[in-house]
Amino acid sequence: MKISGKPYWRLTRSALLIAAFCTGIHWPVSANSYTERHAFSQPDEEMPLKQSLDFHVGNSFFRNPWVKAPASTRARDGLGPLYNTNACQNCHIRDGRGHLPKNQDDNFVSLIIRLSRPAQNKKDTKKQSKHGPLPIPAYGTQLQDFALPGVPAEGQVSLRWTTLNKTFADGDTIQLRQPHFSISKPGYGDLPSSTVLSARIAPPMIGLGLLAAIEDDTLLQWSDPEDLNNDGISGRINWVNLVGSDLPAIGRFGWKAAQPNLKQQTAAAFLNDMGLTSSIFPAPPCTKVQSECLLAQQRSLPDAKAKPEVSDKILEAVTFYSQNLAVPHNNSPVSKSLERRRAQGHQLFLDAHCAQCHKPEIQTGDLALGWLATRLIQPYTDLLLHDMGDALAGGTEEFSASAREWRTPPLWGIGMTKNVHAEGTFLHDGRARTLMEAIVWHGGEAQAARDKVMTMDSAQRQALITFIQSL
């Protein structure tokens, strides 16, 4: 695998290598594996060179840790009072995905737990579909397991696993593991027993500006909420809250497509994951009863409303960075036999109707940033919600997404997941260790596709995976 040779990247890499050489650091890996580890961290190849500085600035605020205010690094202070971790990159590891803890001693960074209570009446349902998950009074809608000194953290996450075996038609078996999350040491009183938990791992950051550039009309055309074409697949739009507007907007980002655009997604991440206010979300992440949190915020930034912790300039820079991370190209020479296996896998992918949801090709619209507009892209997603069955049901309802519905994740670049971060895992809560486990978990609207895979023999299954790894 080789990242297409871009002058920008060559320059940066040379600079890094020179820096490493001068400082006497022994570069621990070959240039090639270094490139592969950073396969998700390259700028879009069509991004004009003159924007490199914006990309770099965004990258530094994405990668470097934020600190408690007031600090000498004024641009990066304001962390907390409640938070999950101190840098975007801690969860989106090397701009790739997060992972679940390997064992009880490992940490839960790169995972978030959404909290909500079920709707109890029509008023609740209306509120939920307009404003998103119904908060747990003392806790809000996300568990923050870290806090600044003097502020109680909201609790600790515990995880236990159960396993189940599934058998393919040829007799081979595959073991799946199902995570069960719970919260211990609650910092603000017991959570109501009706609290619904929904665990999510950080998804990869590649190609997001291109996904944002797909026109609303394209998604509306694909959506088929009543399954009028009778193919058993009813992609739905998640109509979500666009801050500052009374009208619902089409959701695109997050595992349930609950965020309408990258700027709002970025501002939400700053607030919910790191406790940082912005002009989009000016209130700190404290609920009314979290008095230590409110007090700590008051002390560190008395005029938070007037001057948010994340300035508009930084918010724009990090949004720009999120828009412009390239999807890696696979340019490496391919042997005839590998080519044959990929072609066979491609056919199996089509025969199993995977492409009904994982849409291979899309044209981006013409309203996007110049270089992201009118491009033919191969993301393998329709960005729509699908009922994936009970086994994948994730508790929380989010706007119009039910507990069983998830947004089809893009498959582009997925073959590089383990090169970027060896512990990266698949599906919304990271339960699948391999691509095949992810496929076998499919249910609901994707049950027929999954059943087709269960009838494949081992060579066919391998071909299918080889194809997915080449995307």
Does 147 engage in binding with ligand HEC (CB under 6 A)? no
Does 254 engage in binding with ligand HEC (CB under 6 A)? yes
C-beta separation of 385 from 366 below 8 A: no
* Tokens matching residue 217: 């009309």
Q: Name the residue with tokens 């270089």.
A: 371
Question: According to CB under 6 A, which one of 39, 100, 148, 438 is a site residue for ligand HEC?
Answer: 438
Which range of residues in 130-138, 158-166, 251-259, 364-372 is near ligand HEC by CB under 6 A? 251-259
Question: According to CB under 6 A, which one of 134, 362, 449, 456 is a site residue for ligand HEC?
Answer: 449
* Of 301 and 314, CB closest to ligand HEC: 314
Cβ burial of 294 (10 Å; 0-12, 13-18, 19+) is: middle
Residues 6+ apart with CB under 8 A from 296: 80, 81, 148, 150, 151
Does 112 engage in binding with ligand HEC (CB under 6 A)? yes
Does 428 engage in binding with ligand HEC (CB under 6 A)? yes
Does 427 engage in binding with ligand HEC (CB under 6 A)? yes
Q: Fill in the per-residue mask, 289 to 318: x = in contact with ligand HEC (CB under 6 A), - = not in contact.
A: -----------------------------x
List own/partner pairs for 426-430 with CB under 8 A and 24 or more apart: 426/97, 427/392, 428/199, 428/200, 428/201, 428/255, 428/392, 428/394, 429/100, 429/111, 429/179, 429/199, 429/200, 429/201, 429/394, 430/97, 430/98, 430/99, 430/100, 430/111, 430/179, 430/199, 430/201
Does 144 engage in binding with ligand HEC (CB under 6 A)? no
For residue 280, CA distances in Å to 43, 55, 114, 267 come to 26, 21, 20, 6
Binding to ligand HEC (CB under 6 A) within 371-410 occurs at: 386, 388, 392, 406, 408-409
C-beta separation of 269 from 203 below 8 A: no
Does 327 engage in binding with ligand HEC (CB under 6 A)? no
Question: According to CB under 6 A, which one of 44, 95, 154, 273 is a site residue for ligand HEC?
Answer: 273
- As measured in angstroms, the least distance from the Cβ of 385 to ligand HEC is 7
- Dihedral of CA atoms 291, 293, 295, 300 in degrees, nearest 10, equals 180
Question: According to CB under 6 A, which one of 35, 264, 266, 396 is a site residue for ligand HEC?
Answer: 266
Question: According to CB under 6 A, which one of 3, 143, 213, 269 is a site residue for ligand HEC?
Answer: 269
- As measured in angstroms, the least distance from the Cβ of 98 to ligand HEC is 6
- As measured in angstroms, the least distance from the Cβ of 5 to ligand HEC is 27
Per rule CB under 6 A, count of chain residues that contact ligand HEC = 56
- As measured in angstroms, the least distance from the Cβ of 267 to ligand HEC is 8
- In the chain, the amino acid numbered 329 is H
As a whole number of angstroms, the distance between CA 322 and CA 259 comes to 14
- As measured in angstroms, the least distance from the Cβ of 303 to ligand HEC is 22
- As measured in angstroms, the least distance from the Cβ of 75 to ligand HEC is 14
As a whole number of angstroms, the distance between CA 454 and CA 166 comes to 9
As a whole number of angstroms, the distance between CA 358 and CA 370 comes to 26
Q: Give Dmax over CA atoms of the chain in angstroms.
A: 66
Does 345 engage in binding with ligand HEC (CB under 6 A)? no
* Tokens matching residue 21: 């050489």
CA 228 and chain centroid, separation: 30
**For binding to ligand HEC (CB under 6 A), which residues are involved?**
62, 84-85, 88, 90-92, 110, 112, 200-203, 208, 233, 253-256, 258, 262, 265-266, 269-270, 273-274, 318, 322, 349, 352-354, 356-358, 386, 388, 392, 406, 408-409, 411, 414, 426-428, 435, 438-439, 442, 445-446, 449, 453, 468
